[in-house]
Amino acid sequence: MQTFSIAHTVKDKYKTLFGTEPIVVRSPGRVNIIGEHTDYNEGFVLPAAIDKASYVAVGLRNDDRISLYAEEFGDSFESSLTTLAPTDRGWPNYILGVADQLQKSGHALKGFNMVLSGDVPIGAGLSSSASIECATGFALNELFGLSISRLELVKLAQRAEHLFAGVRVGIMDMFASAFGKQDHVIKLDCRSLDYEYVPLKMDGIKIVLFNSNVEHSLASSEYNMRRQQCEAGVALIKAHHPEVASLRDATMEMLHKYVEPADALVYKRCKYVVEEKERLLQGCEDLKRGDIKALGKKMFATHDGLSKEYEVSCEELDFLVDQVRNKEAVLGARMMGGGFGGCTINLVREDAVEDLIKETTTNYNQQMKLKLLSYIAQIEDGTSVLSI
């Protein structure tokens, strides 16, 4: 119902502002069951697209200008196609960055108008930025008849985020947004980009997201720093094992031998990643067997690693995970995404969801003095051009 209404909102707004019929594209946010901070280490991830999405309505202009309007902010932005550059206004960067990447890849663009809206909460770790980038890429691909493949659009969106948002993100968020499949998670090998759809067999269990409503400004600088620390670990191993190209190839033995004596902090970071790599592969088998209890235990272990070794959690996220840790009805929980705020993901028995939300909301509010938002995530298809 909501999908329907936001798609129509952007379409109607476009017609009001620009007077022609637009192309409308939907691109969802994502959850990630397990496999955090593994994508840029060429490991595996297990994300899925959700029922919260960004929507864009796009159409041609007769000049070389870009005119953008963001419904949520009631804000507009204009630029020339020939002078695309990041702006400190924030939201236009995700669109400008994609247009820039299309041009840099040799595609001739002309001026366009765009209206943006959506219901992916911003800064909640549900990849609102990737969903805007994918929506933009797919919409311009359609508008200019560029015939770019889904995978190329994903890679292009990732480069846009690097250059126009300044965060050296991995490929998970864009891939999940573009390749999502209803009721399935994607087991993605971030080295080869081979992927497999694994059915989400979780009878009687819901995916509950608790949005901490915290968005630390550290997120992008610390994210880039973690990447550097992983690269530093690889360099230390590579001196002895030239075949090791990323932490994907590293073993605990290598970490003990070459990284631990050289740099205690880098060792801690790399240890988390190497363990998480293994946890994901086993967690995926749990899911295939329908053993959600075993998968859930691994999610708690992931949280502890992210909090204590990778150090990308925060007080509020730790609080939310600790709240549910010993509850029989909660099979697994952890912070999700880049960290320093955003959501926790919880696997919760259906009959306990309502009470859990009530209780956690009250406790969070009392202890953290913050409002807790909660969502029950449905797993949906990835990016599509809508025929409305």
Query: Does residue number 276 form part of the binding site for ligand GLA (CB under 6 A)?
Result: no
Among 95, 172, 207, 292, which residue sits at the site for ligand GLA (rule: CB under 6 A)? Answer: 172
Letter for the amino acid at 216?
H
DSSP assignments along 194-220, one per residue: -EEEEE---TTEEEEEEEEEEE-THHH
Residues 27-66 interacting with ligand GLA (rule: CB under 6 A): 36-37, 39-40
CB of 65 to ligand GLA, least distance (A): 30
Among 29, 43, 118, 338, which residue sits at the site for ligand GLA (rule: CB under 6 A)? Answer: 338
CA–CA gap between residue 180 and residue 177 (Å, rounded): 6
CB of 32 to ligand GLA, least distance (A): 6
Is residue 109 exposed (0-12), middle (13-18) or buried (19+ Cβ within 10 Å)? middle
Query: Does residue number 169 form part of the binding site for ligand GLA (CB under 6 A)?
Result: yes
Asked if 63 is an active-site residue, the reply is no
Query: Does residue number 180 form part of the binding site for ligand GLA (CB under 6 A)?
Result: no
SS (H, E, C) 126-173: CCHHHHHHHHHHHHHHHHCCCCCCHHHHHHHHHHHHHHHHCCCCCCHH
Query: Does residue number 170 form part of the binding site for ligand GLA (CB under 6 A)?
Result: yes
CB-CB contact of 343 with 30 (8 Å): no
Strand order in the sheet with 330-335: 330-335, 341-349, 205-215, 373-377
Among 180, 337, 341, 382, which residue sits at the site for ligand GLA (rule: CB under 6 A)? Answer: 337
Q: Which helix (H) or strand (E) holds 296?
A: helix 292-304
CB of 339 to ligand GLA, least distance (A): 7
CB of 356 to ligand GLA, least distance (A): 25
Name the residue among 273, 338, 312 with its Cα closest to residue 43: 273
Q: Which is nearer to ligand GLA, 259 or 306 (CB)?
A: 306
Give the SS3 label for residue 11.
Answer: helix
Which among 69-77, 164-172, 193-201, 371-379 is the span making contact with ligand GLA, rule CB under 6 A? 164-172
Name the residue among 313, 284, 283 with its Cα closest to residue 298: 283
Using CB under 6 A as the binding criterion, the count of chain residues that bind ligand GLA stands at 10
The active-site residue, picked from 119, 173, 286, 318, is 173
Give the SS3 label for residue 193.
Answer: coil
Query: Does residue number 244 form part of the binding site for ligand GLA (CB under 6 A)?
Result: no
Q: Which is nearer to ligand GLA, 59 or 332 (CB)?
A: 332
As annotated, the active-site residues are 173
* Residues at the site binding ligand GLA, with contacts judged by CB under 6 A: 36-37, 39-40, 169-170, 172-173, 337-338
